[in-house]
Amino acid sequence: MEDSASLTAYFNNINIWNNLRDYIPHPYTAEEAENFIGVQSELFPTQNFAIVNEDQIVGGIGISLQQDIYKMNVELGYWVAETFWGTGIGTIAVGLLTQYVFENFAINRIIAEVFEHNKASMRVLEKNGFHLETVRRKGIIKNDLLIDDYVWVKQKIY
Ligand SMILES: CC(C)(COP(=O)(O)OP(=O)(O)OC[C@H]1O[C@@H](n2cnc3c(N)ncnc32)[C@H](O)[C@@H]1OP(=O)(O)O)[C@@H](O)C(=O)NCCC(=O)NCCS
């Protein structure tokens, strides 16, 4: 819980939010951070991790479990504090989380959906052995613009 201030400071950033789903609050307040940390710290196995550089939170990465007939899938989400973009943190975090997820959850597929303009995120996934499965043309509306949805996947059984 003592990390909520640094989480808020870095995550409350429109340049990050513009690449994420609308359910994520923006502006992001200390109260949202505390609620998030409270809920996540109760889950076992852990589903959302802080990305930490020395003793400071510089990002977050996690999964959301899918339900029903999709329960062998998880969806991956991540962000890095803007001042650290391009330093390799995202690539390392996705690699570690991918390994952790396959070891700790009975799932077959890790999916990441990326907005068409987000080349850095696609590169991070590509470097970690994800492949581009499909593009849902104009499948997303974000900031009132229709954009393509790039679906990247890493899986065990084909
Ligand atoms: C996507 C994000 C997590 C990447 O994290 P990062 O720590 O900056 O990523 P890395 O430094 O590990 O790698 C970035 C790669 O993208 C490349 N890249 C960056 N901008 C690029 C661009 N405009 N076009 C093509 N490649 C680009 C970098 O060159 C690097 O690849 P390389 O190692 O082959 O040179 C970070 O930009 C972020 O938090 N963005 C906002 C939130 C977000 O998009 N989350 C993911 C939603 S799907």
Q: Which atom of ligand 1 is nearest to the CA of 80?
A: 39
Q: Which of 136, 79, 145 is nearest to 113 (CA)?
A: 136
pLDDT of 55: 81
* SS3 state of residue 153: strand
Q: Which atom of ligand 1 is nearest to the CA of 118?
A: 44
Sheet holding 48-53, edge to edge: 48-53, 56-65, 73-80, 109-115, 145-155, 131-142
Reading phi first (left if > 0) and then psi (alpha if -120 to 50, else beta), residue 148 is in: beta
Binding-site residues, ligand 1, Cβ < 6 A:
16, 19, 78-80, 85-91, 112, 114, 118-121, 123-124
Instruction: State how many domains the chain has.
Output: 1
Q: Please give the residue range of the domain that contains residue 79.
A: 4-155
pLDDT of 39: 97
pLDDT of 130: 98
Per residue of the chain (158 residues), give pLDDT as tens: 999 999 999 999 999 999 999 999 999 999 999 999 999 999 999 999 999 998 889 999 999 999 999 999 999 999 999 999 999 999 999 999 999 999 999 999 999 999 999 999 999 999 999 999 999 999 999 999 999 999 999 999 99
Task: Compute the residue count for the chain.
Answer: 158
Measured by CA distance, the residue closest to atom 10 of ligand 1 is: 88
pLDDT of 54: 86
Residue 14, domain CATH: 3.40.630.30
Q: Model-level pTM? A: 0.98
